Amino acid sequence: MIRILMASIREYRRDSILTPLFVTLEVILEVLIPFFMAGIIDVGLANADMPYTIRMGVVLTCAAFLSLLCGALSGRFAASASAGFAKNLRKDMFYRIQGFSFSNIDRFSPESLVTRLTTDVMNVQMAYQMIIRILIRGPMMLIFALVMAIGINRELSMVFFFAIPILAAGLIYIALKAHPHFEKVFQTYDHLNGVVREDVAAIRTVKSYVREDHEDNLFRRISQKVYGRFVSAEKIVAWNAPLMQFTMYIAILLISWLAGELIVQEEMTTGALMSMIVYATQILSSLMMLSMVFVMIIIADSSARRIVEVLTEESSLHDPEHPVHEVKDGSIDFCSVSFSYSGDRDSCSLHDVDIHIRSGETVGIIGSTGSAKSTLVQLIPRLYDATEGTVKVGGRDVREYGLDDLRSQVAMVLQKNTLFSGTIKDNLRWGNPDATDEEMRQACRLSQADEFVSSFPDGYDTYIEQGGTNVSGGQKQRLCIARALLRKPRILILDDSTSAVDTRTDALIRKAFREDIPDTTKIIIAQRISSVEDADRVIVMNGGRVDAFDTPENLLRTNTIYREVYESQMNGGRK
Amino acid sequence: MKGQDTHYLRTALRLMGYVASTYKLRFLFVIITIVLSAIAGMAGPLFLLYLIDGFITPLIGQQDPDFTALVHTVILFAAIYCMGVVCTYIYNRLMVNIGQGVLKRVRDEMFTHMQTLPIRFFDTHKHGDLMSLYTNDTDTLRQMITQSIPQTLSCAVSVVTVFIVMLRLSLPLTVLTIAVVCIMLSVAKIVGGRSGRNFVAQQKDVGALNAYIEEMFGGQKVVKVFCHERETEEGFDTLNEKLFQSAAAANAYANILMPIMGNIGNMHYVLTALIGSLVSIAGIAPLTLGTLATFLQMTRSFNQPLAQIAQQSNSIIMALAGAERIFRLIDAESETDDGYVTLVNAFISEDGTISEAGTRTGRWAWKHPHHDGTTTYTELKGDVRFFDMSFGYDDDKMILHDISLYAKPGQKLAFVGATGAGKTTITNLINRFYDVQDGKIRYDGININKIRKADLRRSLGVVLQDTHLFTGTIMENIRFGRLDATDEEVIAASRLVNADEFISRLPDGYSTMLTADGSELSQGQCQLLSIARAAVADPPVLILDEATSSIDTRTEAIVQKGMDALMAGRTVFVIAHRLSTIRNSDAIIVLDHGRIIERGDHDELIEKHGTYYQLCTGALELD
């Protein structure tokens, strides 16, 4: 896992290495400073040696400045290294997600991906900064301070060899004991958030049924549980500070007492005693720092896991090694195709489809929800790979084409379609980045969108809000069709894309298709029978199988499902 | 900046009020133990002073030094230290309960209050923002209460204690200390301010990046279909780079604060040593070696907590900003309810007299207390009438104009019209999610403003277009309609609406666990569940807001049978996307821009060859 994350450090490797370097320098200076300070007390003050005091003062001042410089530099490099690492992590994840196939996308909800890119990366960023600063600082401080202490007085330093293991063992014990409790806390926390999320989303239902108290009780029960679990976790952590103080005080007392005797026997100076005590503080607090870093790392651990999950997700679709770039014509062949979303042959959504569509043909698809209409057409631009059998476009297996080449020739208007924030032109250019104004206008004319777009005060420069909320459903669908038309595809697939468009406009769109793009193969999924009535042939889907594939006239005579749908809709206007 | 400070101060005080009022005694105890523990911590340097001046120095050079006094002092201080450690444990332990208790109280108050807020509040606030009150904001608050507050308090006590000791040790050196403190504070203010500004910028950049990736991931399949990956990545890179800049700057300033403070402290030490020896050598003020040594030690003990406070300031400000958002929710105005007419179980005798019943009788009545102390009962029938009603979500932009209509008990009324014509708005007014500005609505002859909201809503069943299921079993989800419904009643309701069939086919039947989004079920099945939920509630009036919109026409035929069974004998308001489902309505009301433009039953309206006719023949767009 760590290796995968580390791969995102890249250009921030320099800063990541400089940080611990400057931290080390800073620590050395910080450890030396008490030593100089001891000199001032022992030599300067004790002998009232003013020049010495001034000399040491200058040395100390320089040391302080150097230490400040190193501290500032290490802080700066740590900030840019960790922020840069976070930037690259986000970038790598985002790029990875762009390479996802549809089945990859189905595995992650957009919300979960957003959390992974923001909160999780933020946690890892903080932990990384802690690691390159504190995780180096702690041991360095420990070692250097210990060395200095031993340099001052070997016997007194023995105190540390008792204090360090006691404190370390205590801190580790507390961390280990608290960890499972914290795991539980986070689980309950998730549960609590789930309740809030559900309640806020369903507030109309809650209020309609007057269930505020019910929800309140539910929330309070979990809130109480969060409280209980948090308390039992923090109860353990509450031992941290007293343990630290306890060891520290014992060390100080022991050192003072032993040093007192040594000083009396004139084997040690008072300055040295004070330095020893400073070193005691430094050594023991470095252990405390380390335990803090471990807590951070534990918190970041689950975040890191979630990030790695995205980074290691392999796209289930790959370009062939020698891709074919050109799609010859718009013919489509399904040769005994079965498909299952899970890849498991026993739970196929599509069974044994054998269909051959001629180039330029207009084919309608009809069937109830869950009959696998969308599943069928999604195999054509290779949004998913068939589990069994082959799908051919232009006489070749779709797996032989480069994905971009295939998809630029097979334009698909999805059922759940999205316009993006930006002007209408920006959105249309998704179809063709080099489209001229006239080309855009022409595509909109075909999709019957030109009229209403022109009626907007800003015309084609009208700004579309996120999710296309400022245009009506029917207008959105027509813009989405225009966007697809700009690709000038050999095959055009409309997946229930005119459901919100009135029947007359719907008919006009189909008429325009017939007259202006006769050579393009058109596949139209629809709920409305009128949308497929004038198709060359219609596929009737039922429960993942092709129930019939024939002309509308024949189907009306021979196919029960088609006739049922036809009748349920046709007496809509006349009773 | 000044105004903001007082804002934070008010929030902080209010927060402290929470702490103090919930745990008066314990919090007092915490303060005492923090003070004691901090003082014990400060005993260290004092200890040295005693040790060096009182016991060690006099013994130096003695032939046969007597260590008993030294040992006594060590024991004395060991006792003080012991007390310190015990106090530290006590306040840490107490703070766990106090901190978590306050958080629980804040959380609970927030949620309970949120439940009372009007629908308008939820319509005008992003759900993500509300969520982050319970997650991010409460989390920073937790850190502040359990860590920052005790630490700051302890540091403050240390600073004060040390300062007093310093004053007693040497006045001139204390003056120097004050000067250094001033420098430290101003530096902290400058660096902290820079850091804070960049943190704000970082927050903004995170928001922008968040919005972008949310939009792109939401439309990821469209991105794939149009091979638009490169362009999407370019857009991302720009925002990502911006976030990097602000994050790096914010963290850099935060990181260098500590070394700056620490090294100003070191300079302070040097200056103290120099000036101290000057003073003592010149004999201006008598300073023993021990005093000076102690003072030097004191400067360290003084500067460290100051630096710690400075470092805490960032997280305290961030937590206060979060607390302010939380308080804003708690302070938001609740839904007002002046209703006094209540819904009661009733016995209705042959001659029509109504008396109140203590238990469920299956019949209901409105209990209407009058000014003169008398109470009248009106049978709940489901007669709803609108009189010249006008409404707008904002006062200056009316959505509905002069709507008058009536639905007699058992009648079915359908609303038809384009998006934005005001169909859903009408249903929002019947159950008083919003209140009418002009005109009135009467329910069984009673102005709905007089009916207690909870009772009004209990008498109305609502099935919405977006089905909302809750984590729990299917049984629990249906029972949401009426909490005291038995299993048999739930199953009967499911049978009534044709939901029983698919539920029984599930491996776990009614015990099937659902998650919030109901991803285990198809959209049609989710809708059937929410219809069953309304059926188990068994209300006299039913509002169906595009309840079958995501079911295909063939499945709809099955659901329709269930719906018909549910609608029988009830007053029903239907908003339908598909006109086929409303053909048998008693009245169809065609809305356009908030006005009724046509009304009548299906045949009359077809006859009329007006808007409804055009909609039916597909000549007009519905959406």
Residue A275 lies in a domain: yes
Alpha carbons within 13 A on the beta-carbon side of B425: 25
d(CA B118, CA B129): 17
**Cβ-Cβ contacts under 8 Å for A148 (sequence gap 6 or more):** A31, A32, A34, A35, A275, A279
In the structure encoding, which two tokens stand for residue A349, read together?
């959504």
Contact call for A41 and B256, based on CB within 8 A: no
| The predicted structure's pLDDT at residue A572 | 46
Task: Read off the amino acid at residue B394.
Answer: D
H or E stretch including A272?
helix A270-311
**Residue among A557, A560, A571, A569 nearest A530 (CA):** A569
CATH of the domain at A130: 1.20.1560.10
Contact call for B278 and A50, based on CB within 8 A: yes
Say if residue A273 is in the same domain as residue A369. no
In the structure encoding, which two tokens stand for residue B341, read together?
């007419």
Say if residue A416 is in the same domain as residue A562. yes
CB B251 within 8 A of CB A83: yes
Residue A67 touches chain B, beta carbons under 8 Å: yes
Say if residue A97 is in the same domain as residue A187. yes
CB B85 within 8 A of CB A246: yes
Q: Where do runs of H (alpha helix) occur along B60-137?
A: 68-116, 119-124, 127-132
CATH of the domain at A533: 3.40.50.300
Dihedral, CA of residue A438, residue A441, residue A443 and residue A448, to nearest 10: -160
Task: Read off the amino acid at residue B165.
Answer: V
Q: What is the pLDDT of residues A456-469, one digit of tens each?
A: 889 999 998 877 77
Tell me how many residue pairs between chain A and chain B have CB atoms under 8 A apart.
Answer: 422
Q: Supply the DSSP symbol for A500.
A: T
Q: Which of A40, A207, A418 sits opposite B218 (nearest CB)?
A: A418
| The predicted structure's pLDDT at residue A573 | 40
Say if residue A94 is in the same domain as residue A234. yes
| The predicted structure's pLDDT at residue B146 | 82
Identify from A14, A193, A209 which residue to disrupt to test chain B contact, counting B C-beta atoms within 10 A and taking the largest count: A209
Contact call for B623 and A487, based on CB within 8 A: no
In the structure encoding, which two tokens stand for residue B561, read together?
């049978």
Model confidence at A97, pLDDT cuts 50, 70, 90, reads very high
d(CA A485, CA A513): 10
Residue A401 lies in a domain: no
In the structure encoding, which two tokens stand for residue B436, read together?
């009418």
Say if residue A235 is in the same domain as residue A166. yes
Contact call for B247 and A271, based on CB within 8 A: no
Model confidence at A418, pLDDT cuts 50, 70, 90, reads confident
CB B529 within 8 A of CB B520: no
The complex scores an ipTM of 0.85
A546: left (phi over 0), alpha (psi -120 to 50) or beta: beta
Q: What is the pLDDT of residues B436-490, one digit of tens each?
A: 888 889 999 999 999 999 899 988 888 887 778 888 899 999 998 888 899 999 9
Residue A543 touches chain B, beta carbons under 8 Å: no
Q: What is the pLDDT of residues A242-293, one digit of tens each?
A: 998 899 888 888 888 888 788 878 788 877 887 888 888 888 888 888 888 8
Residue A294 lies in a domain: yes
Residue A256 touches chain B, beta carbons under 8 Å: yes
Q: If you write DSSP's letter for every residue of A461-474 in order, what string do you get?
A: GPEEPGGGTTS-HH
For residue A90, pLDDT over 90 is answered with yes
Determine the Cα angle at A408 with ends A477 and A417, to 5°: 25
Say if residue A199 is in the same domain as residue A265. yes
Q: If you write DSSP's letter for every residue of A332-395 in order, what string do you get?
A: EEEEEEEE-TTS-GGG-SEEEEEEEE-TT-EEEEE--TTSSHHHHHHTTTTSS--SEEEEEETT
Q: B133-153 b/e with 16+ CB inside 10 Å = b?
A: bbbebbebbbbbbbebbbbbb
How many other β-carbons are positioned within 10 Å of the β-carbon of residue A283? 25
Contact call for A264 and B278, based on CB within 8 A: no
Task: Measure CA A573 to chain center.
Answer: 50
Task: With both helix axes pointing from N to C terminus, report the angle between B171-218 and B289-331 in degrees, rounded to the nearest 10.
Answer: 30
d(CA B176, CA B303): 13
Give me chain A's average pLDDT, please. Answer: 87
For residue A425, pLDDT over 50 is answered with yes
d(CA A375, CA A383): 9
Say if residue A227 is in the same domain as residue A370. no
d(CA B306, CA B302): 7
Three-state DSSP state, A202: coil
For residue A172, pLDDT over 50 is answered with yes
Say if residue A258 is in the same domain as residue A199. yes
| Structural domain boundaries enclosing A430 | 363-374+409-574
Q: Where do runs of H (alpha helix) occur along B228-359?
A: 229-282, 289-331
Residue A51 touches chain B, beta carbons under 8 Å: no
Question: Token match 């597909």: residue?
Answer: B618
Residue A393 lies in a domain: no
Question: How many residues would you count in chain B?
Answer: 623
Question: Token match 């007006």: residue?
Answer: B610
H or E stretch including B572?
strand B571-575
| The predicted structure's pLDDT at residue B520 | 67
CB A544 within 8 A of CB A385: no
Contact call for B218 and A84, based on CB within 8 A: no
d(CA A246, CA A83): 38
Question: How many residues would you count in chain A?
Answer: 575
**Cβ-Cβ contacts under 8 Å for B279 (sequence gap 6 or more):** B170, B172, B173, B285, B287
Handedness of CA B598, B600, B602, B608 (dihedral sign): negative
**Cβ-Cβ contacts under 8 Å for B568 (sequence gap 6 or more):** none
d(CA B76, CA B463): 76
Q: State which of A269, A290, A312 marks the end of a domain.
A: A312
Residue A230 touches chain B, beta carbons under 8 Å: yes
CB A79 within 8 A of CB A360: no
More confident residue, A521 or A272: A521
Say if residue A268 is in the same domain as residue A367. no
| The predicted structure's pLDDT at residue A575 | 33
Residue A342 lies in a domain: no
Q: What is the pLDDT of residues A285-342, one digit of tens each?
A: 888 888 888 777 877 888 899 899 999 998 888 888 888 888 889 999 999 999 988 7
Q: Least CA distance to B203: which residue of chain A?
A: A118
Contact call for B217 and A97, based on CB within 8 A: yes
Residues of chain B with pLDDT under 50: 1-3, 623
Say if residue A73 is in the same domain as residue A10. yes
| The predicted structure's pLDDT at residue B2 | 39
d(CA B476, CA B513): 9
| The predicted structure's pLDDT at residue B618 | 63
Say if residue A114 is in the same domain as residue A218. yes
The values of phi and psi at residue B544, to 5°, are: -115, 105
| The predicted structure's pLDDT at residue A446 | 93
Q: Please give, rounded to a whole number of angstroms, the shortest distance from the CA of B554 to a CA of chain A.
A: 6
Residue A419 lies in a domain: yes
Predicted TM-score (pTM) of the model is 0.79
Residue A377, Cβ density class (10 Å: 0-12 exposed, 13-18 middle, ≥19 buried): buried
More confident residue, A154 or B548: A154
In the structure encoding, which two tokens stand for residue B611, read together?
């808007």
For residue A99, pLDDT over 50 is answered with yes
Q: Supply the DSSP symbol for B470.
A: -
Say if residue A172 is in the same domain as residue A37. yes
Residue A252 lies in a domain: yes
**Residue among A273, A44, A277 nearest B60 (CA):** A273
Residue A67 lies in a domain: yes
Residue A550 touches chain B, beta carbons under 8 Å: no
Residue A121 touches chain B, beta carbons under 8 Å: no
H or E stretch including B342?
strand B342-348
Q: Supply the DSSP symbol for B586.
A: S
Q: Supply the DSSP symbol for A12.
A: G
From chain A, pick out residues whose CB is under 8 angstroms from the CB of B607: none
How many folded domains does chain A comprise?
2
CB A335 within 8 A of CB A390: yes
Q: What is the pLDDT of residues A377-416, one digit of tens each?
A: 999 999 889 999 999 999 999 999 988 889 989 999 987 7
In the structure encoding, which two tokens stand for residue A551, read together?
């002309």
**Residue among B372, B325, B368, B386 nearest B573 (CA):** B386
Q: Which of A91, A472, A501 sits opposite B237 (nearest CB)?
A: A91
